[in-house]
């Protein structure tokens, strides 16, 4: 499998027949091993004399022998235990090998068809897409259309969504695989570091040339397979070194090697029986990780993913418009407030002139009361001068009619307020969330429109990740062509479009849309909440710096600086590594020849002082913390509105 990942597809076609023959031989071998040898027959083996004292063996004159149930060459199937009783036998492995042979033969036939048809093959291989990228050709049309989804818009949009967000799921599974310690700590830490490096890059990982990020994902896949291979070698070495090559008079050597292999292979217990049942639960999550990595390697070579890469590059070019659009909104709000203040000032001067012209019995004292009410922005008293200038009888009748109307409206509202339907409640909640998120939805709407203009004007330059492609973009000077908002009327226009589009949605979808947008805007508070939960669960010195960051930097500062999130992300990575190391309360070392017992360096005192020995942080909290931090960082990089 490692060889197939390293080679290209056309080279795999040449060596794939060997892969099929190997599966066929393993199927035949497993079937013979399932049948078993002749009953009661002893097989001669060349081993040490210590095996003569083992139980269940036959001692012949020619040397030591084993019963058929413990034959070495039947150890590959059913954990090496083949008894005469058919009830204890399992044929699951044979079924798996049979399916492997069937799939290998089908794939070999597909390879033969591709060799015969060459460039006219429809579907299957993505070599045409990779060749188009190497030839610096545009990807406006799919050179290898999929036979099951050609010219189908729904499936194309679904593929684009999967290609846009699937790599986040893959990286979280890799991080979870490392945190779970499915392999040894030495191998898990490297998985965690690789996951954090790619999570830190985020979507910017695909801004480089396709061959570069494909090699990065292949590196992670090959490392995962290599770690599985080393763990299997450690299990086999434990059996070989512990029970075959080491004599009884040097048992302390076996103990030291066995302890070392225990920490490397990460299997429970220090007493491993020969050909005993091995636990394979840790390998199941490795299988899941390897499956999603293979699926992602398939996705990044497809045409839909390359179109998604073009959208990512366009996002990185247009995302800086978020700061400009947000500044325009702030400027418009300040200008509107200034205009309102000027209108109020003009109104105040007009009212003052009217009051001075009136012959009021209270005189100057009444004017001072008016000015006091003006300072409190009481609009009812500001209209007093206009009301006093009208005839007293008309004013009385108008006040009487308005009072009766207000009483009738209050009575109707009181009668209707006792019956609030669920739809009205959802509508009010959706409207409240929509008002809080209108600015963000407006910015995303304008950025998406400008990105479409950019994709229409420069499709080829964006599809090619070449050194001179950015220089071409700088020379084109597209700032004036793709910028849609230049005046305050444009702001009102696009805000109206956003709000009208939101009103056309169904009620439930409006509520979900507004709540989801509100959560995206406030991802910083989500990060603060997860950090507080993590510290509250452990209450240790390890999570205390994160709580300090939240309470004394994040909560007290007006706008969160990106340095805060950089420190938090790197500290979470260090915290995960330290927590994993604390699961091992001792470290292995080789024993001295004069000592029969192995000495170990205890870490219990250090771990208890840190406060993570009795109550370690759960895997779910770690994953939730990493997900919240990287989601907030990705949100800042996409919109570029939360940067200071």
Per-residue pLDDT tens digits for 137-162 = 666 666 666 655 656 677 777 877 88
**Residue 411 domain-assigned?**
no
**Residue 129 domain-assigned?**
no
Q: 497 with 631, same domain?
A: no
The rounded distance, in Å, linking the Cα atoms of 179 and 193 is 11
Is pLDDT above 50 for 600? no
Residue 279, pLDDT score: 56
Per-residue pLDDT tens digits for 94-140 = 788 888 899 989 888 888 887 777 656 555 566 666 666 666 666 66
Q: 188 with 311, same domain?
A: yes
Q: 167 with 276, same domain?
A: yes
- This model's pTM is above 0.85: no
Q: 346 with 363, same domain?
A: yes
Domain termination residue (choose one: 63, 98, 121):
121
The rounded distance, in Å, linking the Cα atoms of 496 and 615 is 53
Top mean-pLDDT range of 239-243, 334-338, 357-361, 504-508? 504-508
- Report residue 74's pLDDT band, with 50, 70 and 90 as the boundaries: very low
- Sequence-distant (≥ 6) Cβ neighbours of residue 252 within 8 angstroms: 591, 593, 595, 596, 597, 598
- When divided into structural domains, the chain yields a total of 5
- Sequence-distant (≥ 6) Cβ neighbours of residue 102 within 8 angstroms: none
Domain termination residue (choose one: 493, 520, 547):
520
- Sequence-distant (≥ 6) Cβ neighbours of residue 82 within 8 angstroms: 33, 34, 36, 68, 69, 71, 74, 89
Is pLDDT above 50 for 392? no
Q: 459 with 591, same domain?
A: no
**Residue 169 domain-assigned?**
yes
The backbone torsions φ and ψ at residue 269, rounded to the nearest 5 degrees and listed phi first, read 85, 150
Q: 463 with 587, same domain?
A: no
Q: 288 with 380, same domain?
A: no
Q: 451 with 541, same domain?
A: no
Q: 31 with 73, same domain?
A: yes
**Residue 279 domain-assigned?**
yes
Domain termination residue (choose one: 86, 121, 156):
121
Q: 393 with 509, same domain?
A: no
Q: Among 261-270, 303-312, 408-417, 528-537, name the one with the lowest average pLDDT.
A: 261-270
**Residue 15 domain-assigned?**
yes
Query: Do residues 52 and 29 touch, judged by C-beta distance below 8 A?
Result: no
**Residue 644 domain-assigned?**
no
| Higher local confidence (pLDDT), 527 or 76 | 527
Q: 257 with 152, same domain?
A: yes
**Residue 590 domain-assigned?**
yes
Helical spans, DSSP H, in 539-561: 544-549
Look up the domain containing 74 and give its range: 1-121
Q: What is the mean pLDDT of the chain?
A: 68
The rounded distance, in Å, linking the Cα atoms of 586 and 18 is 45
How many C-alpha atoms does 289 have within 13 Å on its Cβ side?
A: 29
Q: 110 with 55, same domain?
A: yes
**Residue 128 domain-assigned?**
no
């Amino acid at each position: 499998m490692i060889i197939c990942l390293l080679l290209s597809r056309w080279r795999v076609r040449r060596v794939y027949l060997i892969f099929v023959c190997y599966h066929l031989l393993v199927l035949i071998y497993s079937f013979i091993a399932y049948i078993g040898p002749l009953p009661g027959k002893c097989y001669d083996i060349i081993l040490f004399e210590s095996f003569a004292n083992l139980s269940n063996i036959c001692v012949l004159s020619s040397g030591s022998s084993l019963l058929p149930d413990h034959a070495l060459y039947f150890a590959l199937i059913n954990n090496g235990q083949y008894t005469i009783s058919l009830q204890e036998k399992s044929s699951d492995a044979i079924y798996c090998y049979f399916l492997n042979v069937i799939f290998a033969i089908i794939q070999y036939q597909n390879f033969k068809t591709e060799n015969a048809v060459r460039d006219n093959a429809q579907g299957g291989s993505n070599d045409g897409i990779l060749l188009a990228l190497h030839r610096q050709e545009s990807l406006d049309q799919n050179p290898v259309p999929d036979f099951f989804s050609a010219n189908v818009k729904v499936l194309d949009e679904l593929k684009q969504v999967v290609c846009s967000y699937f790599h986040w799921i893959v990286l979280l599974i890799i991080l979870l695989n490392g945190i779970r310690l499915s392999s040894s700590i030495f191998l898990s830490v490297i998985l965690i570091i690789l996951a954090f490096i790619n999570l830190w890059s985020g979507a910017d990982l695909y801004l480089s040339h396709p061959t570069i990020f494909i090699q990065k994902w292949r590196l992670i896949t090959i490392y995962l397979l290599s770690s599985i291979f080393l763990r299997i070698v450690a299990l086999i070495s434990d059996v070989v070194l512990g029970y075959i090559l080491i004599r009884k008079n040097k048992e302390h050597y076996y103990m030291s090697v066995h302890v070392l292999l225990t920490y490397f292979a990460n299997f429970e217990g220090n007493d491993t029986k020969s050909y005993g049942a091995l636990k394979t639960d840790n390998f199941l999550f490795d299988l899941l990780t390897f499956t999603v990595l293979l699926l992602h390697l398939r996705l990044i070579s497809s045409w839909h993913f390359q179109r998604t890469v073009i959208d990512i590059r366009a996002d990185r070019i247009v995302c800086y418009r978020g700061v400009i659009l947000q500044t325009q909104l702030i400027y418009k709000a300040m200008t509107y407030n200034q205009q309102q203040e000027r209108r109020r000032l003009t109104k105040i001067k007009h009212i003052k002139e009217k009051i001075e012209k009136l012959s009021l019995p209270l005189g100057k004292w009444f004017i001072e009361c008016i000015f006091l009410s003006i300072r409190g922005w009481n609009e009812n008293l500001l209209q007093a001068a206009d009301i006093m200038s009208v005839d007293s009888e008309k004013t009385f009748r108008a006040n009487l009619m308005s009072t009766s109307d207000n009483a009738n409206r209050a009575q109707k509202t009181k009668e209707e307020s006792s019956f609030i339907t669920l739809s009205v409640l959802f509508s009010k909640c959706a409207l409240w969330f929509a008002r809080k998120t209108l600015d963000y939805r407006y910015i995303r709407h304008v950025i998406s429109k400008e990105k479409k203009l950019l994709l229409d004007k420069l499709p080829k330059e964006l599809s090619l990740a070449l050194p001179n492609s950015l220089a071409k973009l700088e020379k084109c000077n597209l700032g004036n062509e793709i910028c849609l908002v230049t005046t305050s009327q444009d702001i009102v226009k696009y805000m109206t479009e956003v709000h009208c589009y939101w009103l056309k949605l169904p009620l439930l979808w409006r509520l979900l849309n507004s709540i989801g947008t509100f959560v995206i805007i406030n991802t910083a508070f989500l990060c603060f909440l997860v950090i507080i939960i993590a510290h509250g669960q452990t209450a240790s010195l390890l999570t205390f710096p994160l709580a300090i960051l939240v309470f004394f930097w994040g909560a007290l500062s007006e706008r969160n600086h990106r340095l805060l999130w950089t420190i938090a992300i790197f500290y979470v990575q260090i915290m995960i590594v330290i927590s994993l190391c604390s699961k091992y309360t001792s470290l292995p070392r080789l024993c001295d020849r004069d000592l029969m017992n192995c000495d170990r360096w205890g870490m219990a005192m250090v771990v208890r002082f840190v406060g993570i020995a009795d109550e370690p942080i759960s895997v779910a909290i770690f994953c939730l913390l990493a997900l919240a931090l990287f989601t907030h960082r990705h949100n800042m990089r996409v919109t570029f509105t939360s940067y200071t």
